[in-house]
Amino acid sequence: MNHTHADNERRELLEQIRAIEFMTIDLNLYLNTHPNDRRALNEYNYYTRQLQALRKEYEMRYGPLTNFGYSLSQYPWAWINEPWPWEEDHYMEGC
List of residues contacting other proteins (CB under 8 A): 1, 14-15, 17-18, 21-22, 25-26, 28-30, 32-35, 64-68, 70, 79, 84-86, 88-90, 92-95
**Cβ proximity to other proteins, 30 vs 46, nearer residue:** 30
CB of 86 to other proteins, least distance (A): 4
Question: Of 75, 74, 55, 76, nearest to 66 (Cα)?
Answer: 55
**Cβ proximity to other proteins, 37 vs 46, nearer residue:** 37
25, 28, 45 from 50: Cα distances, Å:
13, 15, 9
Report whether 43 contacts 23 (CB < 8 A): yes
**Cβ proximity to other proteins, 15 vs 57, nearer residue:** 15
- Cα–Cα distance measured from residue 87 to residue 30, given in angstroms and rounded to the nearest whole number: 31
